[in-house]
């Protein structure tokens, strides 16, 4: 098991390097760069930047070198100095911009995950055990609605409802007073008061699909011989269910945890823009529009990093849950 974790962590290094390279190349792929953009904007404002000035700027920003040289510069500074480059449009070091945002994204995604689990797992179990009951139909119906309604629409509706009927301004993750305040209990409380809307919005689609997954998995397991064996031991039914089929049904769910996480992270951009959230989504969106290459590359890289860690986490969880997989790990397979 320890061996497995070490192996996987070591494998992450080439994976991350590959991701960083791809991220950087993708950003630099479109024709033109930030300086071209500055020239264009200046000319729109009636201002004027000469070609020589532009070249000078390129030199300052290091944009005159080849793409690979820029990439290696960037990586080198990152590894040695922890310097992620400078955001052109914000005129700030990238690291000052993204940590908060990454933290918020992680927090929001984790909250959504927990929301999904706490709602979907019990409902899924209920749906399977009481197959074709009224409750199953209601859960299925609501689940399909959850799947079908676009997230941003749900966000708008929830915003409207809470503003119109509860008089609460729910945009953003903080009330205006707390946006730039230092961390305190009050600020955490304010965050909690705001985070539930994006959490629900981001969680609905996931909840619906997890209900379906759990239901289908559990229906497969409910009639397995080991369930009959457990029942024949004279245990109460709820104990039989939770110890045996439910535990088995969680397996495929756990192995797909990471996909769920990716869905939440990448699906949150539009919702974040609509709700005005201080997460990575809107920042990345702007960075891409403005060809703010270091900012965009760093964001893409760290988001990918999150997913890689998520994969590792769900694999370890799976091994912990399932002795068969643990054995494969120990035997050096996988």
Partner 1 sequence: MKPMINVTDLSVSFSGDDGKVTALDNISFSIPEGKTVCLVGESGCGKSVTAKALLRILDNHAAIESGRIDYTQMSGEPLNLAEGPAKAKHIRAIQGNEISMIYQEPMTSLSPLYTIGNQIVEVLRWHTNLSNDEAKFQAIEMLRLVGIPSAADRFDSYTFELSGGMRQRAMIAMALICNPRLLIADEPTTALDVTTQAIILDLMRDLQKTRNMSMLFITHDLGVVADIADEVVIMYLGNVVEQGPVEQILTNPQHPYTKGLLASLPHTDGKRRARLNAIPGVVPSLQNRPKGCPFQDRCDHFVTGLCNEKLPELTAISDVQSVRCHGFGAQADLVPLHASTSQVDDCLHAPNPVNRTAAPILELQNVSKHFPIRSGFFNRQTGTVRSLNDVSLNIWRGETLGLVGESGCGKSTLGQTIIGLHKATTGKVLFRPNEEEVELTGKTDSQLRPYWADIRMVFQDPNSSLNPRMAVYDIIAEVLRVGQELKTRKDIEGRVLEVLDKIGFSKEFLKRYPHAFSGGQRQRIGIARALAPYPKVIIADEAVSALDVSVQAQILNLLKDLQEELNLTYLFISHDLSVVAHISDRVAVMYAGRIVELADTETIFNTPRHPYTEALMSAILEPVPNAHGDDTRIRLQGNVPDPANLPKGCPFAPRCRYSSGICESSDPALGEISTDHLLACHHPDVVQNTPVDQLEAMAG
Residues lying near partner 1 in the complex (CB under 8 A) = 3, 7, 223-226, 228-237, 243-244, 247-248, 321-324, 327, 331-333
Nearer to partner 1, 110 or 228 (CB): 228
Task: State the minimum distance, in angstroms, from the CB of residue 239 to partner 1.
Answer: 8
How far is CA 16 from its chain centroid?
A: 17
- Distance CA(178)–CA(169), nearest Å, equals 13
How far is CA 93 from its chain centroid?
A: 23
Nearer to partner 1, 193 or 321 (CB): 321
Nearer to partner 1, 203 or 245 (CB): 245
Task: State the minimum distance, in angstroms, from the CB of residue 117 to partner 1.
Answer: 19
Q: Mind giving me the DSSP string for 237-258?
A: HHHHHIIIIIHHHHHHHHHTHH
Task: State the minimum distance, in angstroms, from the CB of residue 226 to partner 1.
Answer: 5
- Distance CA(206)–CA(254), nearest Å, equals 14
3-state DSSP: the chain helix, strand, coil percent, rounded to 5? Answer: 80, 0, 20
User: Residue 92: helix, strand or coil by DSSP?
Assistant: strand
Nearer to partner 1, 31 or 236 (CB): 236
Task: State the minimum distance, in angstroms, from the CB of residue 142 to partner 1.
Answer: 25
Task: State the minimum distance, in angstroms, from the CB of residue 327 to partner 1.
Answer: 7
322 closest CA partner among 254, 239, 242: 254
Nearer to partner 1, 59 or 130 (CB): 130
Nearer to partner 1, 50 or 331 (CB): 331
- Distance CA(292)–CA(273), nearest Å, equals 18
Nearer to partner 1, 144 or 239 (CB): 239
Task: State the minimum distance, in angstroms, from the CB of residue 133 to partner 1.
Answer: 12
- Distance CA(152)–CA(65), nearest Å, equals 41
Task: State the minimum distance, in angstroms, from the CB of residue 267 to partner 1.
Answer: 32
Give the Å distances, CA to CA, from 329 to 78, 96, 259, 312, 324: 33, 40, 22, 13, 9
């Amino acid at each position: 098991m320890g061996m497995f974790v070490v192996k996987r962590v070591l494998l992450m290094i080439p994976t991350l390097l590959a991701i960083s390279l791809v991220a950087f190349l993708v950003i630099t792929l479109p024709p033109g760069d930030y300086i071209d953009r500055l020239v264009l904007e200046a000319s729109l404002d009636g201002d004027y930047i000469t070609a020589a000035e532009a070249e000078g700027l390129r030199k300052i920003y290091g944009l005159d070198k080849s793409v690979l040289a820029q990439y290696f510069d960037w990586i080198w500074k990152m590894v040695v100095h922890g310097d992620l480059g400078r955001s052109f449009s914000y005129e700030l070091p990238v690291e000052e911009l993204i940590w908060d945002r990454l933290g918020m994204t992680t927090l929001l995604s984790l909250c959504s995950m927990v929301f999904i689990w706490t709602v979907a797992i019990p409902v899924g179990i209920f749906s399977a055990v009481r197959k074709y009951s009224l409750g199953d139909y209601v859960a299925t119906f609501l689940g399909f609605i959850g799947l079908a309604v676009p997230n941003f629409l749900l966000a708008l509706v929830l915003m409207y409802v809470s503003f119109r009927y509860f008089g609460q301004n729910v945009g953003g993750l903080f009330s205006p007073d707390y946006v730039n305040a230092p961390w305190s209990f009050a600020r955490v409380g304010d965050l909690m008061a705001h985070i539930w809307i994006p959490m629900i919005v981001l969680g609905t689609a996931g909840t619906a699909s997890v209900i379906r997954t759990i239901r289908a998995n559990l229906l497969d397991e409910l009639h397995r011989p080991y369930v009959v064996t457990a029942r024949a031991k004279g245990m109460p039914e709820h104990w039989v269910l939770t110890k045996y089929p439910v535990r088995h049904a969680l397996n495929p769910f756990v192995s797909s945890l990471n996909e769920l996480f990716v869905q939440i992270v990448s699906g949150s951009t539009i919702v974040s823009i609509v709700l005005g959230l201080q997460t990575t989504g809107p920042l990345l969106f702007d960075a891409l529009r403005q060809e703010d290459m270091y900012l965009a590359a760093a964001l893409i890289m760290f988001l990918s990093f999150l997913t890689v860690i998520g994969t590792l986490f769900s694999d370890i969880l799976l091994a912990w849950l399932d002795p068969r997989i643990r054995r494969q790990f120990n035997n050096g397979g996988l």
